[in-house]
Amino acid sequence: MLDFLIQSLQIKSMSLYEAGMLICFGASWPFAVLKTYRTKAVKGKSRLFLTLIIIGYIFGIINKILNSVDFVLWLYVINLLLVSIDFILCLVYSNSKEGRRV
């Protein structure tokens, strides 16, 4: 019984640290999306980088679903949506003349 309690506390503290990491990472995405939308400038943005971030968030979601569904799952989903929006804007604006400016 004591081992179960200790494991439960460790999982919850890990989720808090994981949540902190996702909040810190995710804090910048709304600003990046807004900047891309307003300026329509995507020069210097890396589609490969955004793709790797998206894949990482998908793996995080899969891990949460398979191992420990908790509130952190929604942080992964929110971050995934924001990065995906930025990626889509990058694709749209990279094909336009406006998107090629600095």
**How far apart, in whole angstroms, are the C-alpha atoms of residue 28 and residue 24?**
8
- pLDDT band with cut points at 50, 70 and 90 for residue 33: very high
User: Mean pLDDT in the chain?
Assistant: 84
Task: Give exposure, 55-80, as e/b (b: 16+ Cβ within 10 Å).
Answer: eebeebbeebeeeeebebbebbebbb
**What does the pLDDT read at residue 17?**
86
Query: What are the start-end ranges of the H helices in the chain?
Result: 2-26, 29-39, 47-67, 72-94
pLDDT tens track for 41-85: 898 889 999 999 999 999 999 999 998 888 899 999 999 999 999
Confidence of residue 5 (pLDDT cuts 50, 70, 90): very low
Q: Which pTM was predicted?
A: 0.78
Q: Are 45 and 33 in contact (CB under 8 A)?
A: no
What is the third-level CATH fold of 2-100? Monooxygenase (1.20.1280)
